[in-house]
Structure 1
């Protein structure tokens, strides 16, 4: 519990210190990449301050100026902070609109990322269209294709939704699968909230090219991405066992 309290204090204090700079950078579109950098700095300082080291196996090193649809498994809210540490690209998250109600953090999210409001019937279509425009502008998309934290028992994922793969094919950009191996052990999605100190580990897999694919290939692309991430998770589970 004491460790969890320290993690929470450090997380919030850091953001309060960094937010004024981020607020300024969010006022103009050409400055928004700098606001994104603030999030990365926040994540790196957070993990350093709570004594969690980050170990990433780069089987592929994304070009920081490249455009990708980045897909990862999602078992913990820590996944969001982790992505800013392990990926250097300027990307937009696709996430729940409820985040915009969080003071300060919600302001940044609304200005910088793509919101999905599950209570609105046309929200998914809107977020897909906005994501496609984001890719067309030269910015990557980061998405959790499970559609949220839905796994009944990590590391078993639930089926992926189609959106990430539709947008990648639409814009003919690669899918980059990422396996987040143990964030659910550091910050489990259960009550009471507790942080546990482990080395944060992730694998960045080689990209899956979509050039030449059409929307008829969505299911095949989705299953291939799922299989890459799932195989890594199951391999990790067997090693741990």
Structure 2
């Protein structure tokens, strides 16, 4: 890789941090007054969406959504799952789920960040995956959020896997919650962001198109917890096969 190319990528990646010096106080800060009462959360959620969309726009990233023919019920809650390769996945989910205010289940470490950490902690559910008691508390908090009317987004890989891993092994939490609360699952498959804005390298990446597939929602109405692993396997294969399809399409275009 040429030095000039590396410098341009570094500048572009630095631009992400620069714009968020302004975007986080602007959008996340504006959401704070609406985070203290559940009934005002949809307003806070709108500000979070604006933060997400601003980041994508200013970084020169845009998505093309392939969507199964299904109209989601605005009055229903969902468990959203997706493969996870970058912080931009969060911004994409915010942008895609416009009519369903949701909370993310994410790393507790992010709560330590100045200012952003406060908003993140008030808006979402934090988990310390090294603590069994933390994991138990998380399930309780997720159920509370669902009972208050919110949807939940969980990345079932449990974090961003090693870049050499095509799709990480799915953990059971999202499927346990979906079955227990009888909430449908919406699987998303996100392609290209692994190379466009990778989390594993600051000298790789570029603006451009991100392909996304929104699959049919999967009902859990007639499922019991005994079906949890079958549901997990079904969702894993659905996302894995779609990622393979995206890869084939990319190879075909580049030939």
* Alignment TM class, shorter chain as reference: over 0.9
TM-score by length of 2: 0.88
Are 2:117 and 1:106 aligned?
A: yes
Please name the residue that 1:116 is paired with: 127
CA contact (8 A) 2:170 2:232 kept: yes
Please name the residue that 1:83 is paired with: 93
CA contact (8 A) 2:102 2:151 kept: yes
**d(CA) in 2 for partners of 1:153 and 1:39?**
31
**d(CA) in 2 for partners of 1:21 and 1:152?**
35
Please name the residue that 1:220 is paired with: 230
**d(CA) in 2 for partners of 1:219 and 1:114?**
24
Quickly say closer, same or farther: Cα 1:61–1:181, change in 2 above 3 A.
farther
Q: Offset of 1:153 from its aligned partner?
A: 2.0
User: Which structure 1 residue ranges, 5 or more long, are not aligned?
Assistant: none
CA contact (8 A) 2:170 2:236 kept: yes
CA contact (8 A) 2:28 2:51 kept: no
- The residue matched to 2:77 in structure 1 has which SS? coil
CA contact (8 A) 2:195 2:204 kept: no
**d(CA) in 2 for partners of 1:204 and 1:69?**
13
**d(CA) in 2 for partners of 1:127 and 1:12?**
30
TM-score by length of 1: 0.93
**d(CA) in 1 for partners of 2:58 and 2:81?**
27
How many pairs were matched up? 240
**d(CA) in 1 for partners of 2:96 and 2:15?**
23
